[in-house]
Amino acid sequence: MSEQLDVDLVVVGAGPAGLYATYYAGFRGMSVVVVDALPAPGGQMTALYPEKPVFDVAGFPRVRAQDLVDDLVAQASLADPTYLLGHRAVELDEDDDGVTLRTDLGAVVRARALLITGGMGGFTPRPLPAGGEFAGRGLRYTVPRPADLAGKHVLVVGGGDSAVDWALVLEPLAASVTLAHRRDAFRAHERSVEQLRASSVRLLTPYEVSAVRGEHTVAEVDLLGPDGGTTLAVDEVVAALGFQADLKALAGWGIELTRRHIPVDRSMRTNRARVFAAGDITDFPGKVRLISVGFGEAALAVNNLAPLVRPELAVVPGHSSDSA
């Protein structure tokens, strides 16, 4: 028999923005169901880089990603939400009174409004063009436990935030760290790149991986650069080439998409009357994709959808200290 739940708000995505939105909806007096395809809350932070330090959250000069998630879960618990983890949202119907969301495991959620905080939606790592057959045998796409690479010779491939961050995290742990990027310029945050250039990490730019060799696990990597090729003896390759988003479900819900993002207005409303969005998945002029921005968007969305949930609720809330 299908599980059926009737609540004020259903949040799709249990990453930082979704967890904060859950807390805030509870503060506004709403009942909440949170749906996420991953087995634990935290989104990409838990699944991909739980040990990575995070610097752009107000009030925290530096915070470990998993510690931030744990605190967000504790904060969200004040709303007493129901979590449907390991559930992929697959079907959405909307009428004048609310929305009905169905998951791949048979759960049915009836709510007055829907908030999408799904980051990049379903995501899979972009494969390394050469050497993909070594995945799980010295080639990895994420580093959930940096300590596993302690004492090893590591090659990081990529030029974005994940590549630079992992290179810096691994520098004090690994026997050596080399970072190869196909361009001279990096896409990572400027401060992180400055730290990288000042570190002991060996930089090879512009270089691309042309071959990966080894008997059972990775042993050597061939790199091709402007002046020819070079071969590195390595124990581990971290391919940080980004992720491919899967937003097929959203397209099937009749939600307008701009490439891999959802356009929203200033109230964080999508093109559907009772569907709102917040966090990295949204797009609007001047959009900045930071965790701190996602928190603000989550609060905007919850406050603007509040009158849809309960007509007596105003968009402008009171202060949280008033209800202490």
List binding-site positions: 36, 44, 49, 89, 123, 280, 321
* d(C-alpha 114, C-alpha 98), whole Å: 8
Round to whole Å and give the CA distance between 34 and 186: 36
Q: What angle do CA 249, 111, 106 make, to 5 degrees?
A: 55
Residue ranges of the annotated binding site for FAD are: 36, 44, 49, 89, 123, 280, 321
For 214, the token pair is 């080894």
Write 279-287 long-range contacts (CB < 8 A, 24+). 279/13, 279/15, 279/16, 279/17, 279/18, 279/117, 279/118, 279/119, 280/17, 280/119, 280/120, 281/13, 281/116, 281/117, 281/118, 281/119, 281/120, 281/121, 283/258
Q: How far is CA 318 from CA 111, 112, 233, 323, in A?
A: 24, 22, 60, 9
- Reading the block at residue 152, the tokens are 């090893």
For tokens 């009772």, name the residue.
Answer: 274
Question: Tokens representing 75?
Answer: 């904060």
Q: How far, in Å, CA of 157 to CA of 42, rounded?
A: 25
